[in-house]
Structure 1
Amino acid sequence: MTEPEAAEPDCRKSSGVPDLRLTDALEAIGAATYVVDEQGRIVAVNSLAEHLLGRSAEELVSQDAHALLHRGPQGQLLPTGQCSMRPSPHAGLIAQTDEGYFARADGTLLPISWFIAPCGTGSRDAGTLVIFHASEQAHETGVCPEQTAERLSEFERLALLAETTSQLTSTFVVNEVLDRLVSLVLPRLADWVVIDLITERDEVWRTAVFQADGNTLVQHEDLQGPMPPIPAESPMPLSRALRGVASALAGPETYQGAPDSGIAAEQRRLFEATGMRSAGIVPLRGTREVHGALTLGRAKKPGNFTGADLALLEDIARRAGIALDNARLYQRQRKVAETMQNHLLPQMPRVPGLEMAVRYLAAPDASQVGGDWYDAFALPGGAIALAVGDVVGHDLEAAAGMAQLRNMLRAYGWSQQEPPSRAVERLDEAMMPITDVTMATLIFAQVTETDDGDWQMSWTNAGHPPPLLITRDGLAHYLTGGHGLLLGTGVRISRPDATTVLPPGSTLLLYTDGLIEAPGNTLDDGLDRLRQHAAALAHRPLASFTDQLLQRVQPPGIDDVALLAVRTPSKTHGETD
């Protein structure tokens, strides 16, 4: 069941509420900084900017930065067309100057030097990062001046660190973290980057080797692959970095002597193959463990790495280590949830005359795995029970709650020879005192074969998307009968049942809302899309029907999907694919 989700850091936010994750990234910059969206509205600001401007974040966020802050040397408002702070960033360019003026909250004019750069956050639309300092003229304003020329030399470094934080913390996928890290440092800082990661089995894997050929990044898979184990006491730079001991500068001469380990031998091969003459090697440290090492190398790029460069690489690697912490944590959570859910989902029974197919798709986000389920089991007397449900929440608790509800429904459905509605009423009554589930939706149905060989279904719907029935001829309609309240409301009312005949060769589709809900589309849009594609696939064998349907509908991946399809026997022969 879909819940409102917290948005990832995104320069597009302008709701008047600061983007807290982006604000935290700006706090790490060490200079007055704010971010604007493509319309020039402030979406995040750090405390140093609040201090210099004399305005709180609440007063700044969602305001047009140009109209609120930017002034001419006499304090006059500037036409938007004359604003030098607007066009360059939105064209993907970097701009800076030591002659600018901001209006403070008390009406005084703040002379500033500023630096602007595009702000990528991993979203489709990018914003603009603005870093500014009080200039020497700020003596008159009472604002503490800074060494403008010295600070300006740090602007690009600060912008890179801010972009690194926002880019890397906006994804929970390890490979995306690595891809973004490579793009951030090449070709800006080096023409080679090497990433060695330590796996969960304490093995070292050379995961990424990229070269910058102009602005094109070339991957060298021949230099990637498994690495020898980390030596316990080797003083060589990469070995120390992988142990999390220290960062170091290195060159081909570093590995010219007899190698003291297999890793040292691999490093000699790396320098020979890449032609790197200077490299900085730093640990990728997480909060609890070392994830690996980052190596930046220069072969054709002018200049050798220095100690000052090493400090910058450590800052970048520290941010990358935190991003890897988050990504690995979510991957572990996802793996546990998927494993638990897959073990809990049952095998379908064999029913003479009926075909059944089930599919379960986990959402890409680890936090979205958990509450969707399906079930089918035989009842006394020969009927078949079908169920599809969705427990509110997207985590391990939802997966555990799903298992509780499924088992309770099985017990009520088997022991009570009653209509589906009565079994669901009993489940609703017992859910709150017995389980930790707060709310859930489900469809519970009983399918029986009639004396004349037809199949009939009775069902009740507890707040769930309606079943879809598709005839062999491609007529598809939703079964809207039997609809009642979702489970967990505390309202005790009689639930309705509905009954229909399933035509020969027809396909019944039970599913969860992840199949029909998509951002920017209404629920009716999703239902119409599902109906159209299901009708077009009516002639397909059932396994092909379900696979092709999922492929065509293309669930957006914000929620997991459970799907149960049942096909009745055809009274004609010659079914074709």
Structure 2
Amino acid sequence: MRSSAKNCRFLQNGDREQPEVAELKRAIEEGREYRAVLRNYKKTGEMFWNELYVSPVFDDEGNLVNFIGVQHDITERKVAEEALSEQEAQWRVLVENNPSFVALIDTEGKATYYNSGWLDYLGSDSEEVLRKEWPQKIHPEDRRELQETLRASYLLEESFSIPSMRIQRADGEYHWFSALVSPVRDDKGRVSSWITVSTDIEEIRAAEQALRESEERLRMAFRATSLGAWDYNPITDVLQWDDRTKSLFGYLPEFDEVSYRVFLDALHPGERERVDASVRRALDPESSGDFEESFRVVLGDGSMRWLYSTGRAFFDEIDGERRAYRFIGTILDVTARMEAEEERDLLLAREQLARAEAVSARRRLDFLVRADGVLLGSTGYYERLADTARVCVPDLADFCLVDVLNENGTVSQVAAAHADPTKQELLDRLHRHRSLGDDDSGIVLRVLESGRSEHFRKVSKDDLRDLASSEASREILNELGVVSLLSVPLLARGRTLGALTLVSSDRERVYDDEDLSLAESLAYRCALAVDNARLNHERNRIARTLQNSLLPRIPEVENLEVGVVYISAARGSMIGGDFYDLIPTEDDTLVALVGDVCGKGPSAAAVTALARYTIQAVALREDSPANALNSLNAAMLRQAEDVKFCTVACARFKGTENGAFELSVARGGHPAPLLLRASGEVERVSPQGRIIGIFDDPQLVEEHLRLEPGDALILYTDGIIEAKNAAGELLGEEYLVDLLEGSTGLHAEDISEKLRRRTLDFSGGAAQDDVAVLVLKVPEHR
């Protein structure tokens, strides 16, 4: 019996000289099964790889009836295999040309590969010889420790480092090496081998030893000196330190990279904003120019040092405005003094705690716990001061006054509370008549000046005159009734913030030492809560100001609709890392960009500003988005203070006579922009490009396309597609595409608002990461 089948030659599209085709024909003629991989073609002419399996089918008498064929499109697998082969070749080229020493080790600890660097260094002719000689190349004193380190680290299946070991060179000399060992995993996540990258650190160790010796000589030379000097030019941003000042910051005399940035980086993180603000106040032409601060610096070994610095800024008319042209001063090591003051504060706190512990445990704990709950329930500076007054009545006082010491040295009453609501009006009148000026020598001013409590077990007429500087005030106090009084300082972090005055109008309640101890303990807690609220408010204000300054003003663009979304996930004093901009250029083109900086906070803000302003500057002279991103990459690589990188998508729009736009797009490691056609179709615009700020060459490629009326380009950061719902599921690009497909006919602003609303709805109303979206649409013809 003969078999027959439909002719499938159309799948070969003329490509019939494949050996597999001839072998398939013979298998059919011989009635046997056959498996092959063929190049086949679709109706469109597009080639695809086809895995074909044919098997003969026989009847009960053993006669060939027909053949069964199974075929499978394996194009993706073939492409992946070819890509893997190319990657392996590239890897070998990279390793062989790497200046480091690279080796592969199997899971049994045996080396399977050495690059040419090892062969040259060790003088071996082949990897096989080197594998036999390798253990003898390790210095005898290092072998046992190295073996134990490798054995323990292999069990963890994680990357680890070998800080130092000695390896013998071909000429017999030993050099110090460090190594990084990382696991190589298969597609199931299992460790299949280990790759080691070793570095010759012989010169580094010699340099470190020389540096230590030089530092010792420097300490001996400066032992007889104490005061350092500094000189700063705010116009040129040049800062000069003498040798003593360099020593105080942990630098050698030959250190020549002094800058204001270096100064700020040396400060303890908790001091930077405060000291920087103090410097800027001194440089303000409206100020006296005086500078005086104590601050902590973090040395290279992680230790801290207290420094005290005073200075003066000098001003002149420069380019028609009054500006600081020089800022000079001195600096002194006050570590011993500050540690003594901290010890004193600690002893004072212990003394206050010891007194508080003498008070009835139940009364003290119940009251203080309740007070903490009230104070922690408010966040604002003045709210906590008001809560301080309210929490004292009626448990500690019949009425309470809270006064604060302002930054300009004046004193103000900011809160008052009475146990009897009907007498609150008397406290309001007392507030209007109180005098807390420089000429007043009353109790509150003494407390503020000395930082010590004032205790009046029984208030006399003379004491009352001391309490009230005017006749009207004394009359009001008589109406309120003043039997016993405590006035305690609000102390926090070594500063006197104000005074808390407690008054008893009940002759049965006369304040004793236990009451004083409890009041001082409460005042200490209140002061810390108030100071924390003040510091938090200031940090948040600075962060909001900086964040708002980084958001651009989007210009009105003719013949192009614009929609913008920006959602910051930063909390409190943190600053988000996403950014966007729309830049008109001199040649009537438009540059749009959206980016995402690694991290958050001030360092991310600095990179954001660098990215925006670099591209703004380059866009005026370059018509290529790729060139603009290359310039940004070079600028970021020059920033040596910190390692930061970002991803950016950049597009240039150029209008045509018929209302369409020619579009050029480049991206550096950023999510691919999406192109929403007027038909509702969504296309990914994904030119090649690596992350900005990491590689010398980000390998940027531009993609060119055309926007017709009704088309819209959407640039966005990963915060939108990585938004998570309550189940931990990602929003994803597919969902974003679905949203856009249903957005044809919408204005750009409506599209951006739709994306914003859906993102927040998906993530439960709060974004987990920053989100930036820029929608640019060519209006449809009317």
Distance 1:513 1:163 in 2: 42
Cα deviation, residue 384, structure 1: 0.8
Q: Which residue of 2 aligns with 1:413?
A: 619
Q: Which residue of 1 aligns with 2:338?
A: none
1:569 aligns to 2:774 (yes or no): no
Q: Deviation per CA, 1:130-149: give whole Å up to 9, x if none.
A: xxxxxxxxxxxxxxxxxxxx
Give the conservation status (yes or no) of the 8 Å contact 1:207–1:225: no
Gaps of 5+ in 2: 1-356
CA RMSD of aligned residues (A): 5.7
Cα deviation, residue 312, structure 1: 1.8
Q: Which amino acid aligns with 1:438?
A: K
Q: Which residue of 2 aligns with 1:157?
A: 364
Distance 1:188 1:292 in 2: 21
1:196 aligns to 2:403 (yes or no): yes
Q: Which one of the candidate residues 383, 387, 395 is aligned to 2:589?
A: 383
Distance 2:740 2:405 in 1: 45
- Aligned pairs, how many? 416
Give the conservation status (yes or no) of the 8 Å contact 2:490–2:527: yes
Q: Which amino acid aligns with 1:353?
A: N
Q: Which one of the candidate residues 497, 500, 503 is aligned to 1:294?
A: 500
Between 1:159-168 and 1:493-502, the stretch displaced more is 159-168
Cα deviation, residue 315, structure 1: 1.9
Between 1:406-415 and 1:457-466, the stretch displaced more is 457-466
Distance 1:563 1:233 in 2: 60
Percent identity between the two aligned chains:
26
Q: Which residue of 2 aligns with 1:321?
A: 527
Q: Deviation per CA, 1:23-62: give whole Å up to 9, x if none.
A: xxxxxxxxxxxxxxxxxxxxxxxxxxxxxxxxxxxxxxxx
The residue matched to 2:573 in structure 1 has which SS? helix
How does 1:360-509 map onto structure 2 within 5 Å?
A: 365-369=571-575, 371-379=577-585, 381-418=587-624, 420-434=625-639, 436=642, 438-455=644-661, 457-464=663-670, 481-482=686-687, 485-490=690-695, 492-495=697-700, 497=702, 501=707, 504=710, 508=714
1:209–1:167: structure 2 CA closer, same or farther, 3 Å change rule? closer
Q: Which residue of 1 aligns with 2:438?
A: 232
Q: Which amino acid aligns with 1:488?
A: G
Distance 1:546 1:360 in 2: 10
* Higher RCO, 1 vs 2 (CA within 8 Å, ≥6 residues apart): 1
Q: Deviation per CA, 1:452-504: give whole Å up to 9, x if none.
A: 3134654344455666778999x897967458554334485534555573763
Q: Deviation per CA, 1:384-434: give whole Å up to 9, x if none.
A: 11123343343333323322222222334343332x344324423441223
Give the conservation status (yes or no) of the 8 Å contact 1:372–1:512: no
Distance 1:177 1:191 in 2: 19
1:232–1:422: structure 2 CA closer, same or farther, 3 Å change rule? same
How does 1:6-45 map onto structure 2 within 5 Å?
A: none
The residue matched to 2:526 in structure 1 has which SS? helix
Give the conservation status (yes or no) of the 8 Å contact 1:205–1:225: no
Distance 1:549 1:443 in 2: 19
Cα deviation, residue 373, structure 1: 3.2
1:209–1:466: structure 2 CA closer, same or farther, 3 Å change rule? farther
Distance 2:605 2:496 in 1: 31
Cα deviation, residue 571, structure 1: 3.2
Give the conservation status (yes or no) of the 8 Å contact 1:460–1:482: yes
Cα deviation, residue 220, structure 1: 12
Give the conservation status (yes or no) of the 8 Å contact 2:565–2:774: yes
Q: Which amino acid aligns with 1:174?
A: Y
Distance 2:691 2:426 in 1: 55
How does 1:276-315 map onto structure 2 within 5 Å?
A: 280-287=486-493, 289-296=495-502, 303-315=509-521
Q: Which residue of 1 aligns with 2:285?
A: none
Cα deviation, residue 558, structure 1: 7.7
1:548–1:386: structure 2 CA closer, same or farther, 3 Å change rule? closer
Distance 1:175 1:304 in 2: 30
Distance 2:364 2:409 in 1: 33
Q: Which residue of 2 aligns with 1:80?
A: none
TM-score for the superposition, normalised by structure 2: 0.41
Q: Which amino acid aligns with 2:404?
A: L
1:442–1:265: structure 2 CA closer, same or farther, 3 Å change rule? farther
TM-score for the superposition, normalised by structure 1: 0.53
1:185–1:345: structure 2 CA closer, same or farther, 3 Å change rule? same
Q: Which has the larger radius of gyration?
A: 2
Give the conservation status (yes or no) of the 8 Å contact 2:484–2:511: yes
Q: Which amino acid aligns with 2:497?
A: H
Distance 1:550 1:225 in 2: 50
Distance 2:737 2:419 in 1: 45
Q: Which amino acid aligns with 2:730?
A: D
Q: Which amino acid aligns with 1:569?
A: P
Q: Which amino acid aligns with 2:495?
A: E
